[in-house]
Amino acid sequence: DGENKGEKTGGEEITAKFISVMEEVKSQLEQLEQLESLDRGTCLRLLDVFINVEASGNASIGHFYRSMNSKEGQLKAKEHFEKARDLSKTMRLKEAGISVSE
């Protein structure tokens, strides 16, 4: 719940850490994709897990910001819900065998 100041500060710290960790994991996955010793199927499975975690995390962050009951919170919530939606679409397109370019 992001309504009180302490909870807002704590939630924003957790949000920043989550985003930082996701950026680091994404960087590591990109490096793994370059390894010739790792088969493509393993890379794709790791990427699937990463996308699922990132989408779920963004949805949770969106719920946190929505609970702030402020204009700023609503805008941040929308941003994170949209990111979660876009990541989920990426997963569905991959499952359907449609190429996704960013």
Which of 9-13, 73-77, 88-92, 95-99: highest mean pLDDT?
73-77
Euclidean distance between the first and the last CA atom of the chain, given in angstroms as a whole number: 33
Is 14 exposed, middle or buried, given 0-12, 13-18 or 19+ CB atoms closer than 10 A?
middle
**Average of pLDDT values for 11-30?**
92
pLDDT recorded at residue 102:
44
Q: What one-character DSSP code corresponds to residue 38?
A: S
Sign (positive/negative) of CA torsion 46, 50, 56, 60? positive
Higher pLDDT, 2 or 78: 78
Q: 88 near 76, Cβ under 8 Å?
A: no
